[in-house]
Amino acid sequence: MANKSVFATIQGKLLPRADAMNQAGAQAYALTPHQALAQLASTGTMNATFYAEPREQLDEVLKLAWQVEPEFLAKTAVHAYETGYMKDMPALLLAVLSMMQGDAFERAFVRIVKNGRMLRNFVQVMRSGTVGRKSLGTRPRRLVLNWLERASDLEIMRAAVGNDPSLADVVKMMHPKPVSASRAALYGYLIGKPHDVLALPDLVKAFEAFKRDPSLPVPEVPFQMLTSMPLTKAHWVQIAETAGWQMLRQNLNTFARNGVFEVEGFAEKLAARLRDPAEVKRARVFPYQLMVAFNSVDAGVPNVVRDALQDAMEVALGNVPEVNGHVVVAPDVSGSMSSPVTGHRKGSTSVVRCIDVAALVAAALLRRNPTAKVLPFENDVVDVRLNARDSVMTNAQKLAAVGGGGTNCSAPLARLVKERAKVDLMVFVSDNQSWVDGTSYPHQGTATMQEWRKLKALNPGAKLVCIDIQPYTTVQAKPGADILNVGGFSDRVFEVVGTMLSSKGDPDHWVRRIEATEL
């Protein structure tokens, strides 16, 4: 009898040949430089992941950045910042852009460096020597000086919170020329140099006065500038009333410990802000950050505030598509998914794991599509019973409680083929590092593509979306008219999925979305 592994069926021969090895050492498909950069820019945080070290990610990004056009690199940086809500990655891509010819760097800079944190991130990357130089250079220096000149006093004070480098370091490095006596005094105040106290901005005067006399109104300076002071309940109420939305979300337990919710009607007032759709969207909050806040609140936080976090989650998941047809969601619950979603970083590793994000995405799709089938997988499909009427938070917690085993991305597809299931949309949420189902015959394609081809034979109109939440440059399903590989963990990923479903089958749909970004 002929060797079946060599003389494969015609169906197998038509599959695209696996042309790469993934981080787990199994067969995979390599992405093009544009596709790979788009993937890394939306998921890469320059921290250690389950399969890769920070330096590996950095080297890969730098290599890819020089393989694409400056215009695409600039659009990718803007997309990562505005749509992916990333911070370090856009700063790195900007730094690379500053070394290239053309005006793409200037156009991207003003879209990305909109606050002091991004300014300090950019300066830090430039000074690190990562892109080949340790000085800023003429163009970057000019744009940094422009930001300092145009920033309001409040923006300068907000930028003064943080180190490595601090804003004082940036001011010392840039030697900005103040355009007013007030700004000259502010710079002197920040860097500890002699300055005209009377010329200081009113905000700084109010802060210094409050330090001397806490009976005065709390100044509207960044929250972090006040926490080391002996604050009363009244002070904390004032802080909460003027705090930004993200600061509210992050400090609910602090407010509870300091008696803020003991003030009649204040819990309801704060809850109204937390669930306000306009504020939620303006805050650019990751859905998983809301899940963390909900799971972390102490007993001292009133139920009305906890409920507001669930309402905010519904707003943050507003981009989840409602699909006409049969939807299947396959969240990866294997051992590698226990890795922190933003990687390991000394002193600031996220408590949120990849499995938490995968569970949240699956629960969100189930909430919007109540008839959807959820197939968690590791070595094989794991049976978990979910109720579509339960909240996103509840179902996400159930899925996240599963975990362990190897990664077998083809398992859910094989289950569906065996059941001859009807499928219009199949969504994977994984780190894409399948290895349990690895094959030694790249000419037959990956096991995922083999099973997908069988499922397509049963459902010719089906589409496959693979959401990658860890930064790697290979995939298990080769991009095509019916296959989308997208990276990220912000709510905007759902928007890309929605537009893909209504598109005419562009195999580079996500890259086209980035190319459509206007600078």
Over the stretch 194-226, which tens digit does the pLDDT of each residue have? 999 999 999 999 999 999 999 998 998 888 888
Q: Tokens 């900007």 sit at which residue?
A: 94
Which is nearest to 45 in space by CA: 120, 113, 135, 121?
Answer: 121
- List the beta strands (DSSP E) in 40-113: none
From 277, 294, 316, the end of a domain falls on: 316
Structure tokens at 458: 């049963």
Q: What does the pLDDT average to over 161-168?
A: 90
Q: Are 99 and 126 in contact (CB under 8 A)?
A: no
- Between vectors from CA 273 to CA 351 and to CA 318, what angle results, nearest 5°? 65
Q: Do residue 299 and residue 330 come from a single domain?
A: no
Contact 320, 494 (CB under 8 A): yes
CA distance 457 to 423: 11
The residue type found at 43 is T
Nearest-angstrom CA–CA distance, 171 and 382: 56
Residue 9 has pLDDT above 50, yes or no: no
pLDDT score recorded for residue 5: 45
Provide the domain limits for residue 270. 229-316
pLDDT in tens, 111-155: 999 999 999 999 999 999 988 888 898 999 999 999 999 999 999
CA distances from 500 to 241, 371, 421 (A): 41, 21, 22
Segments in 243-348 forming alpha helices (H): 245-250, 252-257, 266-275, 277-282, 287-296, 303-316
The model carries a pTM of 0.85
φ and ψ of 331, to 5 deg = -80, 135
Q: Examine the fold and report which residue of 262, 287, 316 is the final residue of a domain before the chain moves on.
A: 316
In this structure, the answer to whether residues 345 and 249 fall within a common structural domain is no
Q: For 293-305, what is the mean pLDDT?
A: 93
Residue 206 counted as domain residue: no
With a pLDDT cut of 70, the percent of the chain lying above it is: 92
**CA pair distance 236, 241, nearest whole angstrom:** 9
Residue at 17 is within a domain:
no
Distances in whole angstroms, Cα of residue 250 to Cα of each of 153, 165, 210, 304, 490: 25, 24, 24, 16, 18
Instruction: Flag the least confident range among 79-83, 431-435, 450-454.
Output: 431-435
23 assigned to some structural domain = no
Residue 12 has pLDDT above 50, yes or no: no
Quick one: 451 and 470 in the same domain?
yes
Structure tokens at 142: 């000019």
pLDDT over threshold 60, residue 50: no
Q: Is the pLDDT of residue 11 over 50?
A: no
Higher pLDDT, residue 41 or 68? 68
Better pLDDT: 226 or 412? 412
43 in a domain, yes or no? no
- The pLDDT of residue 87: 87
Judged against a pLDDT cut of 80, whether residue 14 lies above it is answered with no
* Contact call for residues 469 and 489 (beta carbons, < 8 A): yes
Please name the residues in contact with 371: beta carbons below 8 A apart, sequence gap of 6 or more: 326, 327, 388
- Residue 277 token pair: 């759709």
E-only strand ranges, 40-135: none
Domain count, the chain: 3
Residues 461, 368 within the same domain: yes
Question: Does residue 34 form part of some domain?
Answer: no
| Element (DSSP H or E) covering residue 53 | none
- The C-alpha R_g of the chain, in whole angstroms, comes to 25
Tell me: do 289 and 349 sit in the same domain.
Answer: no
> Omega into 165 within 30° of 0, i.e. cis?
yes
Give the DSSP H/E element, type plus range, for residue 428. Answer: strand 425-430
Mean pLDDT of 39-47: 73
Query: What local confidence, expressed as pLDDT, does residue 508 receive?
Result: 83
Average pLDDT of the chain is: 88
> In this predicted structure, what is the pLDDT of residue 7?
41
502 contact partners, CB below 8 Å, separation of at least 6: none
Which range has the worst mean pLDDT, 134-148, 353-367, 414-428? 353-367
CB within 8 Å of 41: residues ≥ 6 apart: 61, 76, 77, 79, 80, 84, 86, 89, 90, 93, 487
* 363 and 486 inside one domain: yes
Residue 91 sits in the same domain as residue 159:
yes
Residue 7 forms part of a structural domain: no
DSSP run (H or E) holding 474: strand 474-475
pLDDT of residue 164: 83
At 319 the pLDDT is: 82
Q: Which residues contact 32 (CB under 8 A, 6 or more apart)?
A: none
Least-confidence region, from 17-21, 63-67, 108-112, 421-425:
17-21
> H or E stretch including 93?
helix 88-97
Same domain for 269 and 343 = no
Kindly state whether residue 511 falls inside one of the protein's structural domains.
yes
C-alpha to C-alpha distance for 363 and 279, rounded to whole angstroms: 23
Q: Is the pLDDT of residue 4 over 80?
A: no
State which amino acid sits at residue 435.
W
Mapping DSSP to helix (H, G, I), strand (E, B) and coil, where does residue 467 land? Answer: strand
One domain, residues 487 and 441 = yes
**What are the pLDDT digits (tens) for 369-388?**
999 999 999 999 999 989 98
Judged by DSSP in three states, 361 sits in: helix
Q: Is the pLDDT of residue 500 over 90?
A: no
Clarify whether residues 305 and 381 are in a common domain: no
pLDDT at 288 over 90: no
Q: Is residue 44 part of a domain?
A: no
CATH number for the domain spanning 392: value is 3.40.50.410
Considering the domain architecture, whether residues 340 and 311 belong to the same structural domain is answered as no
Please report which residue ranges of 285-347 form alpha helices under DSSP H: 287-296, 303-316
425 class by beta-carbon count within 10 Å (0-12 exposed, 13-18 middle, 19+ buried): buried
Task: Give yes or no: residues 486 and 337 share one domain.
Answer: yes
Is pLDDT above 70 for 266? yes
Residue 261 has a CB neighbour count (10 Å cut-off) of: 21
Q: Which of 301, 316, 331 is the last residue of a domain?
A: 316
User: Are the C-beta atoms of residues 297 and 254 closer than 8 Å to each other?
Assistant: no
